[in-house]
Structure 1
């Protein structure tokens, strides 16, 4: 097989791998019919990792070597932007032409344009980000070519799990020399009915302003909550939108629920730029740079309006609370569980700290009323006596869709005038990093000091350190990311100050749904001048027993290397599967770890199940750097930059080892399958359901396509024997 485009061999994916990924293009994997063929989803093994993909299979009615296929591959292999669809690879084999993209879980924007639960602010964000993608393909200064998309429409905008948009559909795109991007290009008209620039359709002359027309249609779809093409019929959205705009009747077409969310000025800026995109004379249409600027302004105004409305709502809620000292102000749509809530609240009504605002703001969806998540409410109050913070889940019901959306806030309570309160607020307002906890806001009012952070669903690392199901690779990833967070607060070159955390421990490392770690607990932190970050600072010792640097505890002198000691304790906790503080007792983990390390007995302390997962060299690098962090002489402790480098190396080696082991296991499994053509090879730890398994397998044994390996590997839990089920489908 040879490709008409050179140097793309690294993107070639064998047809057999695609067939396996899509289950031979089964109907269960079918997504929809695209403009050039059918589209399928699947799971593709790539570089040792199983990834979700979309396979776009060119229809047989298009000629072999189709221009559109190679245009798509060529464009996506050269264009890289966070809001462009990702090219995984392609296949040009046995009369099959297939483009493989990363799967975006929410599908395309056309499924959401008419959905009123996609709120106005989110719609604005999607439009802003797609405008950035268009600006990149039109004008990126790092390239010698510019791209005209020629097929912009809502079905070419894909959305990931977080509604992050990705521009797709480059099969009709064309390039121009970057220095001549303003000139006309002549080509046979293409695009989609309802979106294509009329001047291009009538004359065959196309410019970047043709993309602006198509994007203008998308903007009006997003604004109105209406599709330009309904039941395969062009509703002439451009004509209708322009007429209503010119007669100041635009609001008649906007979904009423969406209109209630829009700030007036935001709406005006948005509709103005959308209208300008549809101007008949292309010269009068704005450039994408102007569109980006206008859309960003509309979004900024919208957010300011929402922030103002939120403050007013909070103030109104507090006013109601002030008038009703003993009973919190709660809104709910029905009386179910009302008595239970009030029973719980009345039990707390005599407490001095009872005036906290429990419900400040919840999302509102069409037809939905706010309700309280009763179980979260119970947990919040039952834990109140035990901790200085609690979690409260606020839930909104979207009656149209029958689904719930929850926002959970963590509220920390401080003493009036507390230094720690202002330290926390000051630090988190100035520090922004993907692995630092996010500050939502704070309150300092009527003897109340409250810090609001984004809720991280998995809680803190201390709940998982002793859990052997938190695998070694995931532990390494957590440590690497927290080291990046520490490197940022210690050394970020963009700031004139450096931060010493002073309270690093496992309970200050929060984990989101995907075990992405967030460093928290900045109430004890302190700053130094960036140029003097290596000097001693004198302050009253603080921190947590079992984690605090002994030199700091004894002398009151602290440096960034004090954070390294505390982080070293966390590293050994992660390594051993043991907590430094157990039942409120310091188990002297540092002393024990150092002793075992120096006597080459470290493995005696590692959880055996974790040890079986560790690559030897990865373990050595990890334990070496953890030991160095605990050195008594602070000068001998590594800097955070060294720690980052070592931990990344340990993680890299671990991943390579796992990849190698996986390949060997798959090879061994296939070898067993080849020796056993008719009987599946099964290993299981007990005999239960054996007969049922064999009954199922025997029903399949005569099939010609029975040789595919359907299950290669399953998770192994502590104390359990691996169950590997291999059979031919």
Structure 2
């Protein structure tokens, strides 16, 4: 036997010396009666009576038609049969396990295969590293629950898959237990995992953010094994990674399956790349540089993994996105460039399920989300040399998971503490309320025990099924939308079916109490308007990358005041987180809000946009100028404020509506600028109403006119 091997090696050496390598062997040199006489992973030798030659597998693209197919398949078959003898299973054993491939064992039908589930005794993979190539019958075996694929007329890719999986042993890679021939067909036997395909769960609530991170880490560890950690310095490029090639076991552990397109990297290559001449069609997961150049690298797998990460983030596959008219790769690049990718996080991950079972720990922690998006963005880079290695990806994903696991629900408060703060919700502490709520003031001890601080607790009445949705809306918005001009969330409690939200205390209360206060100067009134407009601009999507919030109940009573007349937006019980664009899109909804402030077009049609908030803000602006609420004006004039103001402007009597206490101090340019922008807010045509940014610009001009004129007067 040794003499035969020595003869083959000498023959190969002689061929190389004579330079009868690939370039000197033409298609005409090959005949169907040639046989493969020697195979390694990178080359194989054929012989007949006329010619013997060495062909490197990476060069088989030089052959055309069925010759290319025959060369590849012949090499693959012999490689598998020579190197993986220990995985060969007797056909008779498989037929007994499946009752001769009975229908009762069939679990799936593929385009080129039938799939069965059965119990079968196979090589115990735990002992693979200790095998000393004894007779198959002497190898350690155990019974597995298996998945059996009966593949009819298999391609060379199937044998490529057998060769790669036969050399893999990792918890995140599908386990190939064996194979056998059945005439022209091939049978593959795997350890049975699950029929749960990862892509089918992307839009399911069961996959919380923490589970998604763990699944990402599973996939990354599988890729790291293929790229760096296989036995014998083998390295594999997966080459066809997508969310359909990931399965989840009963414990939600992810395993990579497939491998038909996978390729070995030669340990002797200098640039760690394969150059493939096969035509490539671009789709969402495909490395764009590979499509352009044919250069396949491990970084190509990184790109595909980045594509999956964005599917995980958005909660939908590229195919589902395409069915909605969204090219996910193009969209992702656009969202990243615009800085709005955070806005595209799947709604099912944001902490509220269909039954309003709110859990602040369930959604992505900000640090976790930012870390995830950052590494996914690097993976999705268009150029291979801009992408990280899989080891770096793993490090970043572990950070993201750590942030999430350590994200404690620090704002959940005990009902006992809230009872203590409000003196068991004593009526003497009531400071406001509505149809389904009461608002109490209270005192909470500082954590260090030194003193107390004031809080406000809103307790909702949900006995009749009302108010619960209001609780979740408000809690969600206050938790996610942090801004200096939005009231701060201190805590919440949902113990014993109570629904309580705790806010920071606004020492001056609400604006409606100060409209007719003669001590509230025009300058401070402008400051309140600017503060509120700034908070509203943030909610309407002012460059922070989150979804739009439509307040739906803007009124003077919901503008909360602090020291130095700092103003914040309050009361989000009727608010809506919406995917509408800033200016054009709308939501169809039952009109709600407060009469006298409500957009008449919204009231009439149910069409809600951010411009509905603008109308309500216009009412508040004129209340501030007039020093009276819309209800007071209705009592005195018989009309709500919008109708009254429009009549006054029509008659050219704008100066008559100014609050008498501030009339003499207002600079004319400041007044004109303020009145013009406030009047635009009340336009019946939504398209003519300004945006929050335009309102802010004009209000700041009005303030500048007021301050500048005041300074001049003082100097003179």
Q: Same fold (TM over 0.5)?
A: no
Question: TM class, shorter-chain normalised?
Answer: 0.3 to 0.5
Please report the TM-score for the alignment, with normalisation by the length of structure 1. 0.40
Flag the structure with larger Rg.
Answer: 2
